[in-house]
Structure 1
Amino acid sequence: MRLRKKWWARPEMEQDSKAIFDPVSLKGRWHEEFGNDNPIHLELGCGKGRFISELASMDRNKNYVAIDLKDEVLVFALRKINELGLDNVRIIPMLIENIETVFGEDEVERIYINFCNPWPKASHNKRRLTHPRFLTKYRGFLMQGGEVWFKTDDDELFEHSLDYFREEGFEERYRSLDLADSGFEGNIKTEYEEKFTAFGVNIKFGIFRK
């Protein structure tokens, strides 16, 4: 569904220091931005911010960075963050394609990828956020032992992603083909996850370590 342009979104975000519009300038300096040495966790494609805001409110001893392209969804993520009084979250409007320009070596402890576009056409597979083209970028800034947590409703994407992670030298630490029935503790449901689960779709989930 195409988002309707919200002309007020960018001006509202520009009034808040938690919205970062020049993230490249912070490469290798994110701990300075947060003012502490706490671990940094990254969500790629945060949407309206339900997942990242719940996560950050549960553990305020970690720093969180959330990325999405559209101001129209990020402005709502920013509002959630402010409603919860979270100072350990920053949001970035940008193309994930350029993620390697934002973080320095060993700067991120964990990456979350939740329900990304499956890009089912073979000619589009390289756009998948779990494709080796992206995994190579992540390896550049994930610390040794850092993890990627990946959730999807798409069977084919998950199966292909298992191969992608293996090809790129990531260690598979956990796999579930039905997250809701897995007993996995600490799962935070996204809006998509609730919708798919309600329709009886199994959620696939994996943890992969560098």
Structure 2
Amino acid sequence: MGSKNKLKRFKENDTFKNVVQPTREEVQEGFALKGKWEEHFGNSNPIVLELGCGKGEYTIGLAKQNPNKNFIGIDIKGARFWRGAKTALEEGLNNVAFLRTQIELLDLLFTKDEVSEIWITFPDPQIKYKRTKHRMTNEVFLNKYKKILQPNGLVHLKTDSEFMHGYTLGLLHGLRHEIIYANHDVYKNEGSPKEVLEIQTFYENQYLEKGKAITYIQFRIN
């Protein structure tokens, strides 16, 4: 994407009512919407997060399927989620927001029990050992998710990476978290939730065209 396009999208994001872009300092000093996301949406419906949302395709798809829930796509790259934010406005999806921030700040952006579900869709698996700290299902991130999730809150991991799937399953077993459902090839094996099968991202379609299996895990953090 050219720099002119990026700048154009950044400027448009500033005008979108469904985009929130706090500075790191604002988050660390006390984020205004922490514990008050009901005010942003104007209702007390359950809040669902998509972490590393990219273009926001999953956030938009889930919001269409679940009008009685609020969805927040989170990514540091605003030029990417510009598309999702614009689509939500064009289609009148008032249960959608996008938050430009680092995932590591998550527990400073939401308060205890404020989130009902978390979706992690096609994250970078960070295969090299020295990149373990950046894997979005490592123990540090799981503890952050636990801080903001409701007691029975769900976490969903959908990925094309066999490594990420296996790493996460092993970690969940080792930490005695509750694995509700796991599937190493959702389009060949029965039983996957409809939102796993019916919503596909641009990159997911590319993976499928190459014959790559798409994996999925649904779990609770004890």
State the TM-score, normalized to the length of structure 1.
0.94
CA-CA distance at 1:170 after TM superposition: 2.3
What aligned pairs does 1:133-144 form with structure 2 within 5 A after superposition? Answer: 133-144=140-151
CA-CA distance at 1:85 after TM superposition: 1.1
Residues 169 and 30 (structure 1 numbering): CA distance in 2 closer, same or farther, change over 3 Å?
farther
Q: Which one of the candidate residues 34, 58, 68 is aligned to 2:41?
A: 34
How far apart are the structure 2 equivalents of 1:170 and 1:30?
A: 28
Q: Which one of the candidate residues 52, 64, 81 is aligned to 1:45?
A: 52
How far apart are the structure 1 equivalents of 2:154 and 2:2?
A: 35
User: What letter is aligned with 1:8?
Assistant: K
Measured against aligned partners, the alpha-carbon deviations of 1:70-103 in whole angstroms (never above 9, x if no partner) come to 1210211111111221011110111111111101
Matched, 1:10 2:10: yes
Q: Match of 1:198?
A: 209
CA RMSD, 1 decimal: 1.4
User: 4+ residue stretches of structure 1 with deviation over 6 A?
Assistant: none
Q: Which one of the candidate residues 109, 116, 124 is aligned to 2:116?
A: 109
160-169 or 125-134: which moved more? Answer: 160-169
CA-CA distance at 1:169 after TM superposition: 4.1
Q: Match of 2:129?
A: 122
How far apart are the structure 1 equivalents of 2:37 and 2:172?
A: 26
Residues 168 and 91 (structure 1 numbering): CA distance in 2 closer, same or farther, change over 3 Å?
farther
Structure 2's unaligned 5+ residue stretches are: none
How far apart are the structure 2 equivalents of 1:85 and 1:201?
A: 34
Identity %: 34
How far apart are the structure 2 equivalents of 1:163 and 1:74?
A: 32
Measured against aligned partners, the alpha-carbon deviations of 1:20-65 in whole angstroms (never above 9, x if no partner) come to 1237211111112211111000000111111111110121100001
CA-CA distance at 1:168 after TM superposition: 4.1
What aligned pairs does 1:74-113 form with structure 2 within 5 A after superposition? Answer: 74-113=81-120
Size of the aligned set, in residue pairs, is: 208
- Partner SS for 2:156: strand
User: What letter is aligned with 1:165?
Assistant: L
Q: Which one of the candidate residues 70, 77, 84 is aligned to 1:70?
A: 77
- Partner SS for 1:26: coil
Residues 182 and 83 (structure 1 numbering): CA distance in 2 closer, same or farther, change over 3 Å?
farther
What aligned pairs does 1:46-61 form with structure 2 within 5 A after superposition? Answer: 46-61=53-68
State the TM-score, normalized to the length of structure 2.
0.89
Measured against aligned partners, the alpha-carbon deviations of 1:127-154 in whole angstroms (never above 9, x if no partner) come to 0111111111000001011010001111
The answer (yes or no) to whether the contact 1:132–1:165 under 8 Å persists in 2 is: no
CA-CA distance at 1:167 after TM superposition: 3.9
- Partner SS for 2:59: helix
User: What letter is aligned with 1:18?
Assistant: N
How far apart are the structure 1 equivalents of 2:177 and 2:205?
A: 29
How far apart are the structure 1 equivalents of 2:60 and 2:180?
A: 25
How far apart are the structure 1 equivalents of 2:32 and 2:19?
A: 14
The answer (yes or no) to whether the contact 1:106–1:140 under 8 Å persists in 2 is: yes
CA-CA distance at 1:189 after TM superposition: 1.5
77-86 or 127-136: which moved more? Answer: 77-86
